[in-house]
């Protein structure tokens, strides 16, 4: 059985033919462990959001990989990023390039101010904001550390100009307080972890989705495990499997 990885994460799929799709979650948190890379999911969410409607926009704050990495990933998913960038539907802020080319020294506070300026410039409707590595910003904060990143995320989520947010952290590098804060903010939590039995050619890892229970909206700790899947990232697609499926070991 093949499950669509985006619909499992609560996102309506472009071209699915659903006349009344559910609204995508406002805040999606992707937590990856060391040994797995969740950037394939960012590329899928980005291209899917742009394909769903000509009125949609994406703002990607890229620190874990550079802009060229994401454009190449989108091309493998048969999406023309050059056209989307030219029309203003896709904006990629290459944070590492900004650090390298800046004439002034960019420390932690200056870097977050730069990001805030880019967000202020990109005030368009139906915008999905993707931050591909929040832990990067905490390492740049030599004095305030995670407190500065928490303040930054709070300000980010309070903006009314942007509709949806996807935040990614590596839990192996994430401070406990920052991780707890992000989980409290998230409507959907996606965890990516390596296989407990080690590396396999057929599989890359385990994806588990937790959704905030609507019956307890004020209690963020109450979450419903929606689905657990095994996945394998190929060049142009991601295959998913369930535990015990024929041809897949029951891991």
Q: Are 84 and 94 contacting, i.e. CB atoms less than 8 angstroms apart?
A: no
What is the per-residue pLDDT across 165-183, written as a single tens digit (0 to 9) for each?
A: 999 998 876 678 888 899 9
Q: Are strands 57-62 and 27-32 parallel, antiparallel or unpaired?
A: unpaired
Averaged over 42-54, what is the pLDDT? 92
Q: Are 249 and 232 contacting, i.e. CB atoms less than 8 angstroms apart?
A: no
Q: What percent of the chain has pLDDT over 70?
A: 81
- In the chain, the domains with their CATH numbers are 26-242 (3.40.50.300)
Q: Are 197 and 207 contacting, i.e. CB atoms less than 8 angstroms apart?
A: no
Say whether pLDDT at 113 is over 60. yes
Say whether pLDDT at 41 is over 90. yes
Say whether pLDDT at 249 is over 60. no
Say whether pLDDT at 206 is over 90. yes
Res 111: pLDDT: 74
Say whether pLDDT at 36 is over 60. yes
Query: What is the rounded distance in angstroms from the CA atom of residue 239 to the CA atom of residue 250?
Result: 16
The mean pLDDT of the chain is 82
pLDDT bucket at 140, cuts 50 / 70 / 90: confident
Say whether pLDDT at 1 is over 50. no
Say whether pLDDT at 30 is over 90. yes
Query: What is the rounded distance in angstroms from the CA atom of residue 20 to the CA atom of residue 38?
Result: 29
Res 91: pLDDT: 92
Averaged over 114-124, what is the pLDDT? 79
Q: Are 126 and 56 contacting, i.e. CB atoms less than 8 angstroms apart?
A: yes
Q: Is pLDDT larger for residue 151 or for residue 142? A: 151
DSSP 12: P
Q: Cα dist. 4→44, 96, 101, 151, 183 in Å? A: 11, 32, 40, 34, 24
Query: What is the rounded distance in angstroms from the CA atom of residue 51 to the CA atom of residue 132?
Result: 20
Averaged over 144-154, what is the pLDDT? 83
Averaged over 148-158, what is the pLDDT? 85
Say whether pLDDT at 12 is over 60. yes
Say whether pLDDT at 65 is over 70. yes
Say whether pLDDT at 19 is over 60. no
* Strand, helix or coil for residue 237: coil
Q: Are 52 and 61 contacting, i.e. CB atoms less than 8 angstroms apart?
A: no
Query: What is the rounded distance in angstroms from the CA atom of residue 159 to the CA atom of residue 110?
Result: 20
């Amino acid at each position: 059985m093949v499950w669509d990885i985006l619909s499992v994460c609560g996102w309506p799929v472009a071209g699915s033919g659903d006349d009344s799709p559910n609204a995508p979650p406002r805040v999606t948190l992707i937590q990856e462990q060391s040994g797995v890379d969740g950037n394939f999911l960012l590329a899928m969410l980005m291209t899917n959001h742009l394909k769903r409607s000509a009125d949609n926009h994406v703002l990607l704050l890229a620190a874990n990989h550079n802009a060229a990495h994401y454009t190449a990933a989108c091309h493998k998913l048969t999406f023309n990023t050059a056209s989307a960038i030219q029309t203003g539907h896709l904006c990629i802020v290459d944070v590492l390039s900004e650090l390298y080319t800046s004439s002034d020294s960019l420390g932690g506070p200056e870097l977050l101010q730069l990001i805030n300026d880019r967000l202020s410039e990109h005030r368009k409707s139906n915008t999905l904001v993707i931050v591909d590595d929040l832990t990067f910003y905490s390492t740049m904060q030599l004095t305030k550390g995670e407190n500065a990143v928490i303040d930054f995320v709070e300000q980010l989520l309070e903006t009314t100009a942007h509709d949806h947010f996807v935040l990614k952290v590596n839990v192996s590098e994430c401070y406990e307080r920052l991780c707890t804060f992000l989980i409290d903010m998230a409507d959907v939590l996606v965890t990516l972890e390596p296989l407990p039995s080690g590396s396999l050619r057929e599989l890359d890892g385990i994806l588990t989705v937790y959704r905030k229970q609507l019956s307890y909206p004020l209690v963020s700790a109450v979450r419903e495990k929606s689905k657990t899947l095994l996945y394998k990232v190929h060049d142009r697609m991601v295959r998913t499997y369930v535990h015990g499926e024929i041809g897949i070991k029951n891991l």
